[in-house]
């Protein structure tokens, strides 16, 4: 008996060309939350940062680029890769967290919505192509894919474009060491309803929210520089140590939860595409996941871009997927029949996971 499955038919991504290496931060004045200058040399700060996160460089948008500009490029690639007419799209779901920021200020601009801006830039005339934004922290793109799955399996929709893009460089405090984590980027995928007698595409997913105890681990706050703080501008702030422990505790459980819905062991998973938040944290999450099955990792199942692309929020997972999908991240590759996991964790706090079978 045939069933409707949600299948990714095209992917795209945009990696900004502006490289920001760790040495580019040596002239920053880093401060503690109380406004005092950190009593270490910047060489020490930067070296320790790379040791903890594995990040050596990240990408920033050019001054004349906005979030929707980055998203447009990724969306065009995904549409072309899928080989569809853009007018056939039923939905455009755009996951982001900070709207359309400009280089001269960090104010969040979400009117019109970024999804509507991309629809306009794509030149889509169809009024039945519904465009809306999704704010869900770093797991936003994965959650948008989950929403798309529900739409497609309803039998009422056929093609959905899911975009994830953020420009974090403009909302990070230059006086906060954590600002070196953040990056800019965009990723997208076209997802289509496919009838199949055998399971394919999205097989299962799971999402959890732990707002009661952990909602404030990522939040907006004033600059650590007292002079900037007086201007009342808000910057992205993070309780890194507590977030690290939260992710290690709950992300493996969320991934296992999605696999358990299929009674599928981790040994059947070919690749785990995990949100690129922190290199050492992601490695620890994967090890903890395998320990839930009383196993050790025996092969390279997790491609990582964090060391050279940094943390681009909602863009990390779709960018990873696109690079691997297009054979640009060898030796990692995807073949028909492979089972992969897409998973993310971030502000809210939110965690989600998708089990996907390559057609």
If asked whether residues 206 and 84 sit together in one domain, one would say no
Per-residue pLDDT of the chain (359 residues; tens, 9 = 90+): 789 999 999 999 999 999 999 999 999 999 899 889 998 999 999 999 999 999 999 999 999 999 999 999 999 999 999 999 999 999 999 999 999 988 887 888 889 999 999 999 999 999 999 999 999 999 999 999 999 999 999 998 899 999 999 999 999 999 999 999 999 999 999 999 999 989 999 999 999 999 999 999 999 999 999 988 888 889 999 998 899 999 999 999 999 999 999 999 999 999 999 999 999 999 999 999 999 999 988 789 999 999 999 999 999 999 999 999 999 998 999 999 999 999 999 999 999 999 999 99
Burial of residue 359, with CB atoms counted within 10 A of its CB: 0-12 exposed, 13-18 middle, 19 or more buried? middle
188 and 205 in a common domain: no
- Whether residue 231 sits in one domain with residue 95: no
Give the pLDDT of residue 105: 79
In angstroms, the CA 69 to CA 129 distance is: 20
**Residue that finishes a domain, picked among 156, 176, 196:** 196
Domains: count for the chain:
2
DSSP 216-255: GGEEEE--SSHHHHTTT--EEEE-HHHHHHHHHHHHHHHH
If asked whether residues 299 and 212 sit together in one domain, one would say yes
Task: Out of 196, 231, 255, pick the residue that ends a domain.
Answer: 196
What is the per-residue pLDDT for 310? 96
pTM of the model: 0.93
Are both 209 and 178 inside the same structural domain? no
Residues 166 and 132 in one domain: yes
- Both 180 and 210 in one domain: the answer is no
42 and 179 together in one domain: yes
Instruction: Specify the DSSP class assigned to residue 105.
Output: B
Distances in whole angstroms, Cα of residue 100 to Cα of each of 137, 162, 219, 241: 16, 17, 18, 29
Domain that holds residue 299: 201-357
**Residue at which a domain ends, from 162, 196, 230:** 196
Angle at 342 between CA 354 and CA 160, to 5 degrees: 70
Tell whether the torsion through CA atoms of 28, 346, 81 and 113 is positive or negative: negative
Encoded tokens for 330: 């060898």
């Amino acid at each position: 008996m045939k069933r409707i499955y949600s299948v990714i038919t095209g992917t795209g991504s945009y990696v900004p060309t502006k490289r920001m290496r760790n040495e580019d931060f040596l002239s920053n004045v880093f401060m503690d939350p109380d406004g005092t200058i950190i009593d270490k040399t910047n060489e020490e700060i930067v070296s320790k940062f790379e040791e903890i996160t594995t990040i050596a460089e990240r990408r920033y948008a050019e001054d004349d680029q906005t979030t929707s500009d980055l998203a447009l490029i990724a969306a065009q690639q995904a549409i072309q890769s899928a080989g569809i007419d853009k007018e056939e799209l039923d939905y455009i779901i755009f996951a982001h967290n900070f709207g359309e920021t400009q280089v001269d200020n960090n104010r969040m601009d979400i009117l019109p919505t970024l999804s509507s801006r991309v629809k306009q830039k794509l030149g889509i005339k169809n009024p039945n192509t519904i465009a809306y934004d999704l704010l869900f922290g770093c797991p936003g793109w994965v959650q948008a894919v989950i929403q798309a799955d529900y739409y497609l399996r309803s039998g009422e929709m056929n093609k959905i474009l899911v975009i994830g893009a953020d420009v974090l460089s403009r909302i990070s405090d230059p006086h906060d060491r954590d600002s070196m984590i953040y990056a800019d980027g965009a990723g997208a995928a076209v997802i289509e309803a496919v009838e199949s007698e055998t399971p394919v595409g999205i097989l299962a997913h799971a999402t959890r929210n732990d707002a009661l105890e952990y909602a404030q681990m990522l939040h907006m706050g004033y600059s650590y520089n007292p002079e900037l703080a007086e201007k009342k501008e808000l910057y992205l702030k993070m309780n890194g140590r507590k977030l690290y422990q939260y992710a290690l505790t709950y992300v493996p459980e969320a991934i296992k939860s999605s696999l358990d819905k299929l009674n599928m062991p981790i040994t059947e998973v070919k690749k785990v595409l995990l949100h690129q938040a922190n290199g050492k944290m992601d490695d620890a999450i994967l090890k903890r996941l395998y320990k839930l099955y009383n196993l050790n990792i025996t092969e390279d199942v997790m491609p990582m871009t964090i060391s050279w692309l940094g943390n681009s929020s909602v863009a990390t997972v779709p960018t990873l997927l696109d690079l691997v999908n297009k054979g640009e991240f060898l030796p990692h590759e995807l073949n028909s029949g492979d089972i992969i996991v897409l998973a993310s964790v971030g502000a809210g706090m939110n965690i989600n996971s998708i089990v996907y079978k390559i057609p």
